[in-house]
Structure 1
């Protein structure tokens, strides 16, 4: 079958072996697959990603020097079932799935595995237990958006904002937009969004942000006091002394560059909660005494649970989250290298998808 393969830090189209489903697995045809920011990074830095994952305690199941077929944001169609499957979903059923499979060495991530090619291949192997049928009427492209949108669902779930929360989303790429969508799906606000890119600020408005800020023109932190959030230690102390009503601040860091966490520690209001969603692959530094004096909370989040993935599918299917504005286009195999370049540029398309059946 045809696939776009990462080989020697390049993307090439090649024929690879047909996958055969093992126990509990299902063979599927890829319909479309989104290109994730992690794919852009992994093209040139997969070795570093593997090394950091091993330091974090991940299983040693990926050889970064061998061929890899990326793609974990997919929708697919069932072709066949392997042994020891319930066959509840019949061939022809369109599905999405948490991109995980059980290999001999344990759980592997589909699209970041030498054993399980991702959605940049014409066909994949998925775990039957992870499959969810795509509701009737939902396009293949919209269904493929469930995976990246579930990242925002998990981040917001971890933050657990309430009606008394004022939320700031720093960075309006796909991750930040997913966070905004998850916040607005809960009916929460105000949501402040900040990004240097005019195009991404526009997308933040489309996804429901109440206030959109160009940080080169004004500070996104200038709005706290207007929403009854004391912005400084002095203001916080005076509010407590006077018995003034106060709301809580939650800040989602959705960029992932060195220095940003420290800048937020310095800028956010006292008692704020900083939720780190953006993935910084480099060493970073903060000044803990500032966070201590301001009694800040710092949380780090990753991916999502199967339950959050299913909840996101339901919200996309019923229209609570409209993903259509985020889909910038679909390319065939020959268009993937150019799509990677376009997505790597500031202010570029939000989400490009691959149809591996197209040349």
Structure 2
């Protein structure tokens, strides 16, 4: 079968590889759609970072079950599925507590993330544990199902946070993760969802997805505006940009007992002035990946709370992954989510 293998920065190779063989407890899935994630682009630009050279990348994906191994009962051939990319031990204290994202063996003994430490979905087929195949309803398209994984990342952050119905939220950064945070905050019935970004087209998209207010910090003081809008500060600020200016602004715009929830993966250290938090007893929390959120994300998507097609700005063939995918993402910042398919019939 055809697959895109990662070797180093700017070195993805389309190769013919053997189709995966099914084994007990696993399923082979015919890949339908794969989303290009920011972490994939980081590997393309500066890798290897987390991806093992020679690995088939791709971790945001949907497909149709092609074959199941011995002992599999949760899915059958022909089932349409969204796919979890966490390959964990299932036996450590974190896995047993439902915190699969914190598996003690992550990165050890072959455990880790499909698309980084094991072969992922930039291919025609992928092998994964059957329990990581989550059936989707007929009302949910396979394109939208490919966005369940990043949706789970954002829902995990929202569920971990102090954001509940009627509380206020600020989202710093309106990239794909920031925009999905808007959707999840809307699903949780936040009273205000304030989005901060320097790109006007992203701010317009945020409004379409449910933001109540958008702020361009190049045009106004974001902290002052947020405090004015929320009577002194926001209940939860989600930091999805990963740079010093947004980190600092997020710490300064919190209400008393407010929370800064870090969702971004930072490339550089940032500084903190603790007094910005101490006097109001505000806290900083962190969110990594997801644990058990797939079913809830599927329900949110299937409810048609927003038009998910707004997030899909381009669809391409697997053969065009580098030029039409990675390079387009780097050179044209208007794109939000580019979906990739190995099947010509999907386009």
Q: Which runs of 5+ in 1 are unaligned?
A: 51-61, 232-247
304, 318, 341: which one aligns with 2:303: 318
| Deviation of 1:93 (Å) | 1.4
Structure 2 residue aligned with 1:23: 24
Query: Taking structure 1 as the reference length, what is the TM-score of the superposition?
Result: 0.84
| Deviation of 1:126 (Å) | 1.6
Deviation per residue, 1:8-61 (Å, 9 max, x gap): 3212211122211222100111001000001101223344x44xxxxxxxxxxx
51, 57, 63: which one aligns with 1:76: 63
Q: Which runs of 5+ in 2 are unaligned?
A: 90-107
| Deviation of 1:346 (Å) | 6.4
Matches within 5 A, 1:221-240: 221-231=223-233
Deviation per residue, 1:96-135 (Å, 9 max, x gap): 121123689253311112xx42111110012111221121
Structure 2 residue aligned with 1:240: none
Structure 2 residue aligned with 1:167: 169
89, 107, 111: which one aligns with 1:107: 111
Structure 2 residue aligned with 1:11: 12
Query: Taking structure 2 as the reference length, what is the TM-score of the superposition?
Result: 0.86
Give the number of the structure whose alpha-carbon radius of gyration is greater. Answer: 1
Q: 2:300 aligns to what SS in structure 1?
A: helix
**Cα distance between partner residues in 2 of 1:302 and 1:264:** 18
| Deviation of 1:227 (Å) | 4.4
- Contact 2:168 2:230 (C-alpha < 8 Å) held by counterparts: no
Cα RMSD for the two superposed structures: 2.2
Alignment of 1:348 onto 2:317: no
Q: 1:216 aligns to what SS in structure 2?
A: coil
Moved more, 177-186 or 281-290: 281-290
**Cα distance between partner residues in 2 of 1:84 and 1:105:** 23
Deviation per residue, 1:262-316 (Å, 9 max, x gap): 343345444421111111122222222333234221011011122x111001111
Structure 1 residue aligned with 2:158: 156
**Cα distance between partner residues in 1 of 2:331 and 2:294:** 29
187, 190, 193: which one aligns with 1:191: 193
Change (3 A) 1:121 1:155: same
Moved more, 280-289 or 260-269: 260-269
